[in-house]
């Protein structure tokens, strides 16, 4: 089986209960993404740093733009998906959801997500925590999704064997 069926159409807008929505990220979102990421950089590094080396302390706006354009291209090619979490108006980026092909044995997708520091412990974070597994089960063609950082710690994920 390939990463996704050839006829799969990825969702382009997902409403969050209580307000806000998810949509695929693009380079045009850099003005909102850069302050969201860098404003939560220390916590994000604690989550993703060892596994992804992200976000680096010295990341520039231009590097973030390049990264978001890469994500936009990966989404268009159905290679990987980065969904930004926005407020209702689409004027604030409040987090991201990553849906990636597996790097480690035992899953057919690896999913993780985060919210900006000032949304930790809020209704938005709780809504996202409830929505993501349900959304993946209902809208995506995975049989064994792995929720890294949720059902498996990042440290345990790093210890898994790489796919051959």
Reading the chain (164 residues) residue by residue, the pLDDT tens digits are: 468 999 999 999 999 999 999 999 999 999 999 999 999 999 999 999 999 999 999 999 999 999 999 999 999 999 999 999 999 999 999 999 999 999 999 999 999 999 999 999 999 999 999 999 999 999 999 999 999 999 999 999 999 999 97
User: pTM for this one?
Assistant: 0.96
Residue tagged 């939560």 (tokens): 40
- Residues 106, 103: Cα–Cα separation, whole Å: 9
User: CB atoms < 10 A from the CB of 117, how many?
Assistant: 13
Give one word for 48, left, alpha or beta, with left for phi > 0 and alpha for psi -120 to 50.
Answer: alpha
Q: Is 60 exposed, middle or buried, given 0-12, 13-18 or 19+ CB atoms closer than 10 A?
A: exposed
User: What residue segments make up the domains of the chain, in order of their start?
Assistant: 14-155
Sheet hosting strand 145-147, strand order edge to edge: 14-15, 21-24, 81-86, 93-100, 109-115, 145-147
Q: Which fold has domain 14-155?
A: Aminopeptidase (3.40.630)
């Amino acid at each position: 089986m390939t990463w996704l069926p050839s006829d799969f159409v990825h969702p382009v807008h997902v409403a969050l209960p209580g307000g806000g929505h998810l949509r695929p990220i693009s380079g045009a979102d850099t003005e909102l993404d850069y302050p969201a990421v860098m404003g939560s950089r220390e916590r994000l590094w604690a989550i993703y740093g060892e596994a992804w080396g992200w976000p680096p302390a010295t990341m520039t706006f231009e590097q973030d733009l390049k990264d978001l354009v890469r994500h936009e291209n990966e989404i268009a090619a159905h290679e990987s998906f980065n969904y930004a979490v926005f407020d209702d108006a689409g004027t604030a980026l409040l987090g991201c959801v990553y849906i990636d092909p597996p790097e480690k044995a035992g899953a057919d997708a690896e999913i993780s997500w985060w919210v900006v520091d000032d949304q930790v412990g809020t209704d938005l974070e709780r809504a996202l925590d409830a929505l993501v597994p349900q959304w993946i089960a209902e809208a995506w063609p995975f049989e064994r999704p792995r929720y890294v950082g949720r059902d498996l710690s990042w440290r345990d994920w790093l210890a898994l064997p790489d796919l051959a």
